Amino acid sequence: MRLDQVTYESFRQSQKSFQSQEGKIAYIDRGQGPVILLLHGVPTSGWLYRKMIDPLVAAGYRVIAPDMLGFGSSDSPKGYEIYSEHMHAARLLALMDHLKIESWNHVMHDAGGLWTWDLLGSHANRVDNLVILNTIILEDGFIPPIRFKPGFMAKTAMWGYRNGITTNIMLKGLFKAGLKENNLNKEDISGYKTPLKEGKTKAMYYFFTQTCNTLPDYRPMIQNLNIPATVIWGKDDDFLKWLPQKAELEKDFKLIAADEHLLDAKHFIQEEKPEEIVNIILNFLK
């Protein structure tokens, strides 16, 4: 079954589950060989990578693509602090321990970067290589589509997203701003809409009311990393801009020109340039 041609319902049926301390984590686990972890951001899920999974498997890799707690097919338990960067990182590490994966190649997008930096702060030895896709790193270049103060207005917005009142409006605006050409069909959209209408907005609430207002500073940790890294970035991203942070991150990640790949795309590069991203990843890992 090719994941890039399935319905969202079939995609969910192909997922496995891991019971973390806070709730069920759904994930894709396909292939054999060196491990590549594909980490989504907000408000997406492993569905974001559906066009990339099979080509990576065909190239000889084992691919893990989780839906983090509060997203996709995973549970969305009550509370907000359980969706902090530190808690997401701890659950991700627990998943990999459950799968008995000692180290892996790590691909992340959007807020997945924050969960990654938190994990690397204490377990940098677990990641062999970093692939950075339009990821939150520094305040410079970080322009979230919305910011909320905690409280009534933010909770009302989340209620609208999950009750269908503003779900379509929000997603239409998100993909209009996040894609150069929105060629997503009804089935593509269902993979993003269905979790919201199921009530998966608590993790979003934390992100837009906490993280977006006070971005954690991971740069001191990043400066001490010694992990090979490559950057694949949609150059016209309106939410996360590479150029304002380019000079600092070239130094911090010890990047050379061959490590930087600016694509003719916006934020959701997995939707616009999946084949190109896969080829860059495979060449980098070789």
Residue entry with tokens 């090719």: 2
Tokens of 278: 């896969």
Kindly give, in sequence order, each residue whose CB lies less than 8 Å from that of residue 279, ignoring residues fewer than 6 positions away: none
38 to each of 194, 208, 209, how far by Cα in Å? 21, 22, 25
| C-alpha to C-alpha distance for 25 and 200, rounded to whole angstroms | 13
233 to each of 135, 253, 263, how far by Cα in Å? 8, 15, 6
Kindly give, in sequence order, each residue whose CB lies less than 8 Å from that of residue 185, ignoring residues fewer than 6 positions away: none
C-beta of residue 145 within 8 angstroms of C-beta of residue 174: yes
Q: Would you state the pLDDT for residue 184?
A: 94
C-beta of residue 144 within 8 angstroms of C-beta of residue 208: yes
| C-alpha to C-alpha distance for 190 and 50, rounded to whole angstroms | 13
pTM listed for this prediction:
0.96
Its sign, for the CA torsion 8, 17, 126, 76, is positive
Give the H/E segment covering residue 135.
strand 127-135
DSSP alpha helix (H) spans, 49-180: 50-58, 85-98, 112-123, 152-162, 167-178
Query: What amino acid occupies position 71?
Result: F
Which numeric CATH code is attached to 3-144+217-285? 3.40.50.1820
Give the H/E segment covering residue 252.
helix 243-252
Q: Would you state the pLDDT for residue 1?
A: 63
C-beta of residue 29 within 8 angstroms of C-beta of residue 52: no
Give the chain's end-to-end CA distance (angstroms, integer). 27
| C-alpha to C-alpha distance for 126 and 202, rounded to whole angstroms | 29
- Strand order across the beta sheet in which 24-30 lies: 16-19, 24-30, 62-67, 35-39, 104-110, 127-135, 229-234, 260-263
pLDDT tens for the chain, residues 1 to 286: 666 678 999 999 999 999 999 999 999 999 999 999 999 999 999 999 999 999 999 999 999 999 999 999 999 999 999 999 999 999 999 999 999 999 999 999 999 999 999 999 999 999 999 999 999 999 999 999 888 999 999 999 999 998 888 998 999 999 999 999 999 999 999 999 999 999 999 999 999 999 999 999 999 999 999 999 999 999 999 999 999 999 999 999 999 999 999 999 999 999 999 999 999 999 999 8
- Domain extents in the chain: 3-144+217-285
C-beta of residue 40 within 8 angstroms of C-beta of residue 207: no
